[in-house]
Amino acid sequence: MANKKAAEASAIRASQIALTAKAELDKTILAANKAGNNATEATAAANTATTEANTRKDANSARKADEAGRKAKMAATAALQLAEETARKASLAEMAGDEALEAATRVSGDIAKRAEDAGYAAKESAKSGFKVAEETRKKATLADEAGDAAIHASMSIIQDLINRAEQVGIDAKRSAEDFAKISRSQAEAMMRDAQMKAAAEVEKARRAAEDAGAKAESIANAAKLAAEEAMSKAQEALVKAVIKRLTSWEWISILVIINLSIVFAAVLLATAFGALI
């Protein structure tokens, strides 16, 4: 009698354990299915983002690919964790089911029937759990791979943009250096031309002064000094402009100074001749 009661108590306890294991497994299966579906959706989104990034190859598509890739890998991690949890609980349910079935063989009647039902139910859930765990693992793997591909596409585009930016910088530097060389050459040529023109104007003023006499000579000397001063200022402006790597507006300013110096000298000469007449 005591052994019978002990066997019945053991069967009842085994039934409860089996049913509890089944219930826990069933909840985990639902969570795993949801995580697997999320992983599948994330995989599709990552694949789409990868395709778009590889097609457009711009910063916006790279950003979207990176986001989709990270989401896919997060979904993969969550799905894999639930897959492992499902497999673990499926093993527990299977063992609980076996124990319930074993306990059912040592009793009879309603207790045996309940233990047997609980045992089969737990083992059936365990079978489903193993299947879901395997499917979820596969979905997690696909999501992880899709995430890697999306992130790789994003990094590739970003690296390409960085390389292009660096090349633009290198080209700009070379252009600036070439421009500086050209500007220096042009500046020197302009300086020589300005010197020649100024010297010619001074010589004209000197000759005019010699021909016109003492009065004209004093006026021509004034013209000479003014022209030389204007030429000196033009040279100084040119040198400073070369050092600063001339801009187009600076070139215009220098040309204006040169022209004004020549015009100024010519005006003084005209005034001198007018005074003589």
Q: Which residue has the higher pLDDT, 34 or 231?
A: 34
Predicted local confidence at residue 257, as pLDDT: 54
The 10s digit of each residue's pLDDT in 147-161 is: 999 999 999 998 888
Q: Which residue has the higher pLDDT, 4 or 56?
A: 56
The 10s digit of each residue's pLDDT in 174-188 is: 766 666 665 566 666
Nearest to 124 by CA among 87, 85, 90: 90
Predicted local confidence at residue 228, as pLDDT: 57
**pLDDT surpasses 70 at 206:** no
Predicted local confidence at residue 245, as pLDDT: 46
**pLDDT surpasses 60 at 15:** yes
Candidate from 131-145, 157-171, 256-270 with smallest mean pLDDT: 256-270
Contacts (Cβ under 8 Å, ≥6 apart) of 59: 157, 158, 161
Predicted local confidence at residue 96, as pLDDT: 97
Calpha distance 183→49 (Å, rounded):
49
Residue tagged 């527990």 (tokens)? 92
The CATH number given to 2-173 is 1.20.58
Q: What is the 3-state secondary structure (H, E, C) of the chain?
A: CHHHHHHHHHHHHHHHHHHHHHHHHHHHHHHHHHHHHHHHHHHHHHHHHHHHHHHHCCHHHHHHHHHHHHHHHHHHHHHHHHHHHHHHHHHHHHHHHHHHHHHHCCCCHHHHHHHHHHHHHHHHHHHHHHHHHHHHHHHHHHHHHHHHHHHHHHHHHHHHHHHHHHHHHHHHHHHHHHHHHHHHHHHHHHHHHHHHHHHHHHHHHHHHHHHHCHHHHHHHHHHHHHHHHHHHHHHHHHHHHHHCCCCHHHHHHHHHHHHHHHHHHHHHHHHHHHHHC
Calpha distance 101→108 (Å, rounded):
12
| Region(s) of the chain under CATH 1.20.58 | 2-173
**pLDDT surpasses 70 at 53:** yes
- Averaged pLDDT score across all residues of the chain: 79
Predicted local confidence at residue 26, as pLDDT: 97
